[in-house]
Copies of this chain bind each other. A is one copy, B any other.
Amino acid sequence: MTIQVFGHKSPDTDSTGSPLIWAWYLSQQGTPAEARLLGEPNTEAAFMLTRWDLPKPQIISEVAEGAPVVIVDTNNPAELPEAINSADIQGIIDHHKLVGGLETAGPIDITIRPLACTATIMIDLMGDAAKDMPENLKGAALSCILSDTLEFRSPTTTAHDREVAEMLAKDLGIDMAAYAAELFAAKSDVSAFSDAELLRMDSKEYAVEGTKFRVSVLETTAPNIPLDRKDSLMETMKTVAAEDGVDQVLLFVVDILREEATLLVPNDLVKTLAAKSFGAEATGDTLVLPGVVSRKKQIIPNLKL
């Protein structure tokens, strides 16, 4: 039975590229496997698929009871199909904190590492076989690492992620900086999305002392595109919060090149949160946070109310 390999809902580049890489590796090892997506890939991930002529994986929303699956780039049941624990989970490869909630029937292969990117872990796990990856999957791996590290600007970056990316770029014979710029331009091309889509695109729920937040991040090289729409985005936060059962949506527009985040401040709750979390006083309805680019390392761990 073919193993389905997938990442998290609202797939970004790592959750689109890593399943393709691992499905290839499993198939090489004699275990038939195919990549799946739990939703439409974001614009950066879609660019990666086109640029490297990779097939867009089939989009699924459910998994059948007992179906063999490998989960990558998440270990959070909230980011996976509802019936995930009734599937036959055969492996987990991830680089996020352990959330708890996934269960398996027997012992399986689980590898979680504090690296910036799932693709980096996969290249380590493959050992020599990584060298045999077809060029388009090497391109996918490089895209995943550049995306997750924001071209090594994010504090989640490790020396090892960088080393692997440089090895891949050399192997592919491409100019890594030029390619990263193309990738980020694709990520920044969000004008086609509705406000609600933008607010949900790259977001994680997180509670601070009982108050539930949807913490959204928009990584971009063109912050003016979302910031020009800030009034409308702040208005839509109310609907999205109500629909998603959270108290407040937070939107951080991360300027990849300037390495700073702009937080939208629609009300006193967010103003208080910003002051307590980042020690910064919002005077208008936006607040610039210099140096802040990583939700995992700089935003979530600092949130206070």
Q: CB within 8 Å of B: which residues of A? A: 89, 92, 94-115, 296, 301
Contacts and interface: CB of A to CB of B under 8 A. Distances in A.
A113 B102 contact: no
A103 B101 CA distance: 9
Contacts of A112: 107-111
A110 B108 contact: no
Contacts of A108: 97-98, 112, 114
Given A97-B107, A106-B301, A111-B111, 13 more contacts: A95-B107, A97-B105, A98-B102, A98-B108, A100-B100, A105-B301, A106-B114, A107-B114, A108-B112, A109-B113, A110-B111, A110-B113, A111-B112
A104 B110 contact: no
Q: How many copies does the complex hold?
A: 2
A96 B109 CA distance: 10
Contacts of A114: 106-109
A202 B82 CA distance: 35
Contacts of A115: 107
B109 A99 contact: no
B103 A107 contact: no
Q: Which of A103, A112, A115, A296 has the most CB of B within 10 A?
A: A112
Nearest to A114: B107
Contact of A107 (B96, B104, B110): B96
